[in-house]
């Protein structure tokens, strides 16, 4: 299936999970998402993806917004300023997700899954799964008879899985160019967990449809979520946005950023005297947008926006990155 993307006036978003302070990787994605929208004269949306209550700490959303403002990033719609498509916190949008689930059930796109944790762990050793979720689900509960489902439901509350079509998905990524994901694309995926929490894939698609999002710029780690989301757009009969994926920032040792790599939180760098224009200019250089790491504010970077310059692979921070950031 070749997907035709939206051609409407640009509406983009940055949608962090308020589970901790804004770190360098998220700051880089926020900057690039903001530049994409502002360079097109579009509308910028800030949405908090706070569905997983245990992970989302009270007050963190406010801290994330404070750090974004310090970086020089603004938004036209969001939790603090409101807008025509609010609320802008997923935890306040549960009725929308339940209505969407009912549409999927009515259309025969989903089915109950009764697999135990042990069964899912065994499946996780299979190949071709999403990088963030482990092995591809083998669809065993999709093949249950009505009688088998009734017997299992008497013993266990099921999750709800979306039956992914067995075909390839092709689209043009705004950074990586034309891409094709083969049949399977990670297998049938959960749209509602057994504990009642709505799955990321469903919530993000429902919100982007409801908010009229035309352009999504996000981290490379979410690239393999795209075919799943394209399948959901198709099930809802909606046109998907244009997708673009920016590089992940890694520590000097090549591993995911963590505390062992230094002060990776924006607020920590701020407390150490790093100036916002120094950080934004440095992030623009790291991701390939500029040729050198000179101080620049986000508005100063708008004329330089060119997605063709964005690096298409993970970026390792220099070993002396904290010293270089604090140098000027």
**Residues known to be catalytic:** 259
pTM for this predicted structure: 0.90
Q: What's the pLDDT at 261?
A: 53
- The Cα–Cα gap between 118 and 256 comes to 27
Q: What's the pLDDT at 134?
A: 55
Place of tokens 């917004």: 65
Q: What's the pLDDT at 119?
A: 65
pLDDT tens-digit series, residues 252-289:
888 887 655 556 889 999 998 999 999 999 999 999 99
pLDDT tens-digit series, residues 33-70:
999 999 999 999 999 999 877 677 778 899 999 999 99
Answer whether 189's CB lies under 8 Å from 201's CB. yes
- The Cα–Cα gap between 277 and 284 comes to 10
CA distances from 134 to 92, 137, 239 (A): 29, 9, 29
Which residue segments constitute the domains of the chain, with CATH numbers given?
Answer: 11-93+202-325 (3.40.50.620), 103-199 (3.90.800.10)
- The Cα–Cα gap between 113 and 137 comes to 11
| pLDDT less than 50: residues of the chain | 1-6, 124-129
Write the secondary structure of the chain as one string of H (helix), E (strand) and C (coil).
CECCCCCCCCEEEECCCCCCCCEHHHHHHHHHHHHHHHHCCCEEEECECCCCCCCCCCCHHHHHHHHHHHHCCCCCEECCCECCCCCCEHHHCHHHHHHHHHHHHHCCCEEEECCCHHHHHHHCCCCCCCCCCCCCECCHHHHCCHHHHHHHHCCCCCEEEECCCCCCEEEEECCCEEEEECCCCCECEEEECCCCCECHHHHHHHHHHHCCCCEEEEEHHHHHHHHHHHHHHHHHCCCCCEEEEECCEECCCCCECCHHHCCCEHHHHHHCCCCHHHHHHHHHHHCCCCCCCCCCCHHHHHHHCCHHHCCCCCEECCCCHHHHHCCC
Q: What's the pLDDT at 154?
A: 86
- The Cα–Cα gap between 206 and 227 comes to 15
């Amino acid at each position: 299936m070749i997907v035709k993307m939206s051609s409407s006036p640009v509406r983009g978003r940055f949608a962090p999970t308020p589970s901790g302070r804004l770190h360098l990787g998220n700051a880089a994605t926020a900057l690039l998402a903001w530049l994409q929208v502002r360079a097109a004269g579009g509308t910028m949306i800030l949405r908090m993806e706070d569905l997983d209550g245990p992970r989302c700490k009270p007050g963190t959303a406010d801290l994330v917004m404070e750090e974004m403002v310090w970086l020089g990033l603004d938004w036209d719609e969001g939790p603090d300023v409101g807008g025509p498509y609010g609320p802008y916190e997923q935890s306040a949008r549960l009725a929308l997700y339940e209505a969407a689930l009912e549409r999927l059930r009515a259309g025969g796109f989903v089915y109950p899954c009764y697999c135990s944790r042990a069964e899912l762990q065994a499946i996780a050793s299979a190949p071709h799964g999403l990088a963030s979720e482990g092995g591809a689900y083998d669809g065993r509960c999709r093949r249950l008879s009505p009688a088998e489902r009734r017997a299992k439901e008497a013993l266990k509350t099921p999750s709800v899985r979306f039956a992914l079509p067995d075909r390839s998905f092709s689209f043009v990524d705004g950074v990586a160019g034309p891409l094709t994901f083969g049949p399977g694309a990670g297998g049938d995926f959960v749209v509602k967990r057994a504990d009642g929490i709505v799955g990321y894939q469903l919530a993000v698609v429902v919100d982007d449809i409801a908010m009229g999002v035309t352009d999504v710029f996000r981290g490379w780690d979410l690239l393999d979520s795209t075919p799943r989301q394209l399948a959901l757009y198709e099930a809802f009969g909606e046109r998907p946005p244009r997708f673009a994926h920016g590089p992940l920032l890694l520590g000097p040792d090549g591993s995911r950023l963590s505390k062992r790599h230094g002060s990776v939180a924006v607020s920590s760098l701020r407390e150490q005297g790093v100036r916002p224009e120094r950080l934004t200019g440095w992030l623009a250089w790291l991701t390939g947008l500029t040729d050198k790491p000179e101080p620049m504010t986000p508005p100063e970077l708008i004329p330089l926006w060119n997605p063709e310059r964005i690096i298409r692979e993970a970026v390792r921070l220099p070993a002396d990155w904290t010293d270089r950031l604090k140098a000027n």
